[in-house]
Structure 1
Amino acid sequence: MADLVKVGDLVKDFTLKDQDGNDVTLSSFRGKKVLLSFHPLAWTPICRDQMKALDDLYDRFAEKGVEPLGLSVDSMFCKKAWADSMGLKNLKILADFWPHGEVAESLGLFREKNGFSERANVLIDEEGKVQWVKVYEIKTLPDFEEVLNIL
């Protein structure tokens, strides 16, 4: 497994499908900040609460020039059904599906023994470098107010 990404590291560019099948490329957000919010698996209660909270706070992040994105190893089709079931309005949830967990792995966040990512937030600055990173206990809901306060 790769080492955990550190503040100042340049994040390798990637393109993943969102829940609607659209390509989302990290470098297309240059000039604004991006929050990568990793959750282990769709259809689980804490992951649901994490993505719903991020969707509810979407406008607050946007006001601070941040594009929040949810990521997990689930397929785009799974993400679509899940997003629809949660009624997500703005949040893009990306499928780090194939190669399985490649983006999570590149950031040192892939749990090889489980086949999914850590629960983590990675804040990326306007130039594509890590500004802040936090890995949470797998059963802990991230505090997005903490992230907003950093901004």
Structure 2
Amino acid sequence: MKIEVGAKIPEINLRDHNDEEITLDKFEGKNVLLSFHPLAWTSVCRNQMQALEDNYKEFEKNNTVPIGISVDPVPSKRAWAENIGLKNLKLASDFWPHGEFASKLGIFIEEKGISGRVNILVNDQGKVLWIKEYDIPELPDINEVLTAVKNN
């Protein structure tokens, strides 16, 4: 079953590309955009993460922290963040247990071993405010994402 607006997400306990822990309590008083992308090192995923990075100040203005999430391991996320020039955006690893967080949200694609391409906006209590799922090859419209962030 896929997570829906109004539902509470399961507890987040992931590591980012700097091997720092990511939990919702670290973002008290802020909304969090969980931006799932299938795999690092692919062009659409790169463009998705760079759009978040390029608009980071806009997210901050709207009291929101964007986080990119995929099943890639931390060392791969670190190298990718450096390769694509990320300075602000956190890239979280849902590597082990493989895709566990995406599975709990109902967005893990078992036969491919990846998450779907999904944006989930939650408040600091984990309540889903907005969600949008995309076809794997589709780049999320950053203006649509920013509108959702502004309206929540």
| TM norm structure 1 | 0.96
Q: Which runs of 5+ in 2 are unaligned?
A: none
Residue identity matched to 1:43: W
Aligned to 1:5: 3
Over the residues paired in the alignment, what is the CA RMSD in angstroms? 0.9
SS in structure 1 of the partner of residue 92 of structure 2:
strand
Identity %: 50
Task: Pick from 11, 20, 24 the counterpart of residue 22 of structure 1.
Answer: 20
Task: Pick from 88, 98, 106 the counterpart of residue 100 of structure 1.
Answer: 98
| TM norm structure 2 | 0.95
Q: Which runs of 5+ in 1 are unaligned?
A: none
- Contact kept, 8 Å, 2:24 with 2:124, in 1: the verdict is no
Task: Pick from 44, 50, 63 the counterpart of residue 48 of structure 2.
Answer: 50
Shift of residue 127, structure 1, vs aligned partner: 2.5
Aligned to 1:88: 86
- Number of matched residues? 149
Task: Pick from 118, 121, 136 the counterpart of residue 119 of structure 2.
Answer: 121
- Contact kept, 8 Å, 1:13 with 1:27, in 2: the verdict is no
Task: Pick from 118, 128, 131 the counterpart of residue 130 of structure 1.
Answer: 128
Tell me the distance in 2 between the aligned counterparts of 1:37 and 1:138: 13
Runs in 1 of length 4+ with deviation above 2 angstroms? none
Shift of residue 24, structure 1, vs aligned partner: 1.1
